[in-house]
Structures are given as structure tokens and as C-alpha cells.
Chains A and B, each alone.
Chain A
Amino acid sequence: MKKIEVNFIINKKPVTVEAYPNERLLDVLRDTLKLTGTKEGCAVGECGACTVILDGKAVTSCLVPIGSVEGREVITIEGVGADGKLDPIQEAILENHALQCGFCTPGFVMSAKALLDENPDATKEEIRRAISGNLCRCTGYEQLTVAIYEAAQQLKEAHREQI
């Protein structure tokens, strides 16, 4: 098994990695790039703890062979928020006590961000659907749904002010 070279954009910066073909994007993020905010919970695409944004879409990085990200753009939890400040989604999660053990939290942030980037007018029902591929065993999802909805309102507000 020969190593392959893969070039991609991670959190807005280009990167080149050497990896075995049987490594997953998740392995490279964690073991090679030490971006450990992306978690491994099930490795079969069911729990969503490893969710990242790949070319604008939420995906489970445990199911992405590393070769597939050549030339593509990946955003992880480490790339969320700007200038050392938390993203409004993260702020809202804190505000609403929408986390407990925190292991699933980065995955939820990424799913929520993918949704709100595309649809800032998301309803609570759309939010529930957008996070339905992220399992949380602590919170019962209630405070998470409220938090993401509040973040959406805030983002809309900020957007309106900009205009």
C-alpha cells in the first residue's frame, strides 16, 4: 500500500498531507493535523460527532476516503468563529446550556453552521431535521434546537444591520 499525496484547503489554509489510501479524512484531521475537535464516535456515519463541512455541505468525515478531498475545501470546528471570537451558534449553545459532556457538540455546531450558511431563515422543524444526523445522549436535543434557532435570529439581525 503506497502513501498518496493529497492537497486540500483546511479552515481556509492550503495543506498537503501524505496518507495511506485506507485512511479517512477523520484520521488525517485528528492524527496528522491534530485537529482533535472533530470526534470519532461510531465510525459508520451514524452519530455525527465527526461532522465537518466539505465544499459547503455537512458530511461525516469517517466516511470520506482521504483521496476524495483532493482540491476540496474542508472546515472543521477549529475553523468556526473569527478573530478569536466564538460563532453566534457557539454563543447560543453556551447561553442555552445546550451541552453537557460536550463530545457531540462540535458535530452539532458544524451541522448547524452548514444549515444556517445556506438557510438563515431555518425554522425549528428545519433545524431538527438538519441535526438529525447528530446523536446526543445528554441533552435530549431541546436546548440545542432552541440555541440554533436563536443563533439564526441573531445572524439575521446582524445581516440586516450590515445592509
Chain B
Amino acid sequence: MFKYDYYRAETPDEVCEVLARYQGKARIVAGGTDIMVQIREKDKRWKELECLLDLSFLEDELRYIREEGDQIHIGALTTHTDLERSEVIKRWIPFLGKAASTVGSPQIRNRGTIGGSICNASPAADPLTPLIALDAWTVIRGRDGERVVTLKDFYTGQGKVGLKEDEFVKEFTVRKLPEGTVTGFAKLGRRKALAISRLNVSAALRLDEEGRIDFARIAPGCIFSTPDRVETAENILIGRKPSEELWREAGKAVSEEMIRRTGIRWSTEYKQPAVEAIVEDALIECCGSQFA
């Protein structure tokens, strides 16, 4: 059984100090829904763990969903339930609310935070795909102040995020989607609750006055080693009118990108057709099926 000390952070500065003091041997806990499982399973990553640093008492500083101009700021301690219920999210980036609503179970959504979900760096994390689709930035706090990095670049490799020893994630910032943009989130799991995504996709679209797509975002989860949008698929959509055929082309572009990046694997036989279907689902959810 891992043995470690417990430290309850009272200010953001203190978080950085304690992290620095333990030189990589302190680990942040917020909702505990991932880290508590990993510690129990004696995950190799935390073999050296000396301190569990509790962020959950910084709710005043880190739990918020704020609308500021054309940006939305989401504090790292925002729970999945918060995201699911937020009017701001519903109004501007509804697919993030929907993605959060499919995470685990009510108990997990009540405790699990967006910061924890991202820092745990699972490629199947449901709220990850809408944030990637939105080109979110990660606001990172360290002893020397704050720095900002795109969420995409925050992932430095499979299961890895780029945080220095004294740093933690303070918030995610996204730009509101252009007025009139519609979004979709589709997920394939093996059951309807408590499901880890086998595949998931976020999509956002806007149509111009003539009904042609002039803004498109497609971000699939579970299929790349680090999360990313699929611009080839997005470009296919631009300038064209929604149709069943078009969705199919976009789906194909995503599966081709998957194979280009990760090669043919034992699971490709299944994932290739299935990811195409899920991409189409997300696009259909954006526009409704009236175009298809």
C-alpha cells in the first residue's frame, strides 16, 4: 500500500510551493476519481509518491465557469456535473456539456473535475474532444506566475501532459463559437452508463446564408496517441452543403487520418468503420438529420 503525507492547499501559491518542495513526488488530488483508483492499483507512475496535495479546498479560486467577452473561462475544479448544468456552456458550447454528461456515473460526475480529467491524460476522456475542437488553451500556474499553452500542445505524448514540477492547471480558456454554430458529441460505449468511450467525437459547424458550411471542427477521441482535430476532414466540409454523402466523406477522412497516424493495428478492422459512423453521428447531431 502506498504511504504518503497529505497536504491541504489553502492558496494557489501554496500549491506551487508544495509541488516544488516535493520535487515531482507530490501529486494533486481534486475529485479523486482517477488518482484514488491508480494509487490503489499501485500504478507505477506514483511509486515514489510522498504527498497527496489536495486542491479541493480552492473552490473559490478554481471552480468557476465565467463568460468574459468572446471567451469562456473554466476553472480546473469545475466538476462534470457543473459543466453539464451550466447555462453558459449550454448557450455557447453545448457539446462540452453533453460530453461531460456522459462521463461515468452521477457519483463520478459529482466529484470528477475537468482539470483532473485532462491531467489524467486518458485519450478516451469525454470532455477532452470538445475542448480540442474549440482549440482550448490551458492556463498553467507555477511559482513564477502563469503561462498559457494550447491544450493540444499540453499533451506531450501518450498519457503525458507537460507540467513542470511546480506547476498545476488553473483553467481552460476557450473562445465562444461563432454565433449560429451548432455542435454535436457522439460516443460509442459498451453500455449506456459507466461507459468508457470506445470511440468519441466532437463536431461543430456553421452554415452561411446560402446553407454552405463556413466553419467546421472535428475532434475525435480514443484514436490518436495525443488529441487533435482532423483538419483534412474539416476542409472537406467547408464550402459545401450538408448531405449524407458529405458526412460520409468526412467520416472517411477521419478514419484515413487514424490509419495514417497510427498504422493498421489489430483493432483497426473494427475501429475504422465504427469511427466513420461516430463522426457521422456527431455531424448529424449538429445539423439534425433534415439535411441527410
Report which A residues bind B (CB closer than 8 A): 1-2, 4, 20-22, 24, 43-46, 48, 51, 54, 57-60, 62-65, 67-68, 70, 111, 114-115, 129-130, 132-134
Please report the C-alpha to C-alpha distance between residue A40 and residue B54 in the assembled complex, in whole angstroms: 23
Q: Which residues of B contact A62 (CB under 8 A)?
A: 36
14 cross-chain CB contacts under 8 A: A2-B5, A4-B6, A21-B5, A21-B6, A44-B37, A60-B107, A60-B108, A60-B111, A63-B37, A67-B6, A111-B106, A132-B193, A133-B107, A133-B194
Please report the C-alpha to C-alpha distance between residue A154 and residue B37 in the assembled complex, in whole angstroms: 38
Contacting pair B4 A45 (CB below 8 A): no
Please report the C-alpha to C-alpha distance between residue A153 and residue B249 in the assembled complex, in whole angstroms: 50
Q: Mark B165-206, 1 if CB is under 8 A from A, else 0.
A: 000000000000000000000000000111000000000000
Contacting pair B106 A58 (CB below 8 A): yes
Contacting pair B1 A22 (CB below 8 A): yes
Contacting pair A68 B81 (CB below 8 A): no
Known: A44-B37, A45-B33, A129-B193. A59 touches B107 (CB 8 A): yes
Number of A-B contacts (CB under 8 A): 91
Known: A45-B37, A57-B81, A58-B107. A68 touches B3 (CB 8 A): no
Contacting pair B29 A133 (CB below 8 A): no
Known: A129-B193, A133-B194. A1 touches B107 (CB 8 A): no
B12 at the interface (CB under 8 A from A): no
The 10 closest A-B pairs by CB, nearest first: A133-B105, A132-B193, A21-B6, A57-B110, A1-B3, A67-B6, A63-B36, A133-B107, A60-B107, A63-B32
Q: Which residues of B contact A130 (CB under 8 A)?
A: 106
B57 at the interface (CB under 8 A from A): yes
Contacting pair A70 B57 (CB below 8 A): yes
Contacting pair B52 A67 (CB below 8 A): yes
Contacting pair A63 B111 (CB below 8 A): yes
Most central of B6, B52, B110 by chain A CB within 10 Å: B6
B265 at the interface (CB under 8 A from A): no
Please report the C-alpha to C-alpha distance between residue A44 and residue B105 in the assembled complex, in whole angstroms: 12
Contacting pair B52 A132 (CB below 8 A): no
Q: Mark B44-80, 1 if CB is under 8 A from A, else 0.
A: 0000000010101100000000000000000000000
Contacting pair A22 B108 (CB below 8 A): no
Contacting pair A68 B32 (CB below 8 A): yes
CB distance from A61 to the nearest CB of B (A): 9
Contacting pair A64 B32 (CB below 8 A): yes
Contacting pair B104 A45 (CB below 8 A): yes
B277 at the interface (CB under 8 A from A): no
B40 at the interface (CB under 8 A from A): yes
Contacting pair B52 A21 (CB below 8 A): yes
CB contact between A59 and one of B4, B37, B110 (< 8 Å): that residue? B110
Contacting pair A133 B6 (CB below 8 A): no
B20 at the interface (CB under 8 A from A): no
CB distance from B132 to the nearest CB of A (A): 25
Please report the C-alpha to C-alpha distance between residue A136 and residue B106 in the assembled complex, in whole angstroms: 16
Contacting pair A45 B107 (CB below 8 A): yes
Q: Which residues of A contact B54 (CB under 8 A)?
A: 65, 67-68
Please report the C-alpha to C-alpha distance between residue A21 and residue B105 in the assembled complex, in whole angstroms: 26
Contacting pair B106 A22 (CB below 8 A): no
Contacting pair B110 A65 (CB below 8 A): no
Please report the C-alpha to C-alpha distance between residue A62 and residue B36 in the assembled complex, in whole angstroms: 8
Q: Which residues of B contact A70 (CB under 8 A)?
A: 8, 57
B39 at the interface (CB under 8 A from A): yes
Q: Which residues of A contact B2 (CB under 8 A)?
A: 22
CB distance from B181 to the nearest CB of A (A): 28
CB contact between A133 and one of B1, B3, B106 (< 8 Å): that residue? B106
CB contact between A1 and one of B5, B8, B29, B111 (< 8 Å): that residue? B5
Contacting pair B110 A58 (CB below 8 A): yes
Contacting pair B40 A133 (CB below 8 A): no
Q: Which residues of B contact A111 (CB under 8 A)?
A: 106-107
Please report the C-alpha to C-alpha distance between residue A114 and residue B194 in the assembled complex, in whole angstroms: 18
CB distance from A91 to the nearest CB of B (A): 23
Please report the C-alpha to C-alpha distance between residue A126 and residue B243 in the assembled complex, in whole angstroms: 34
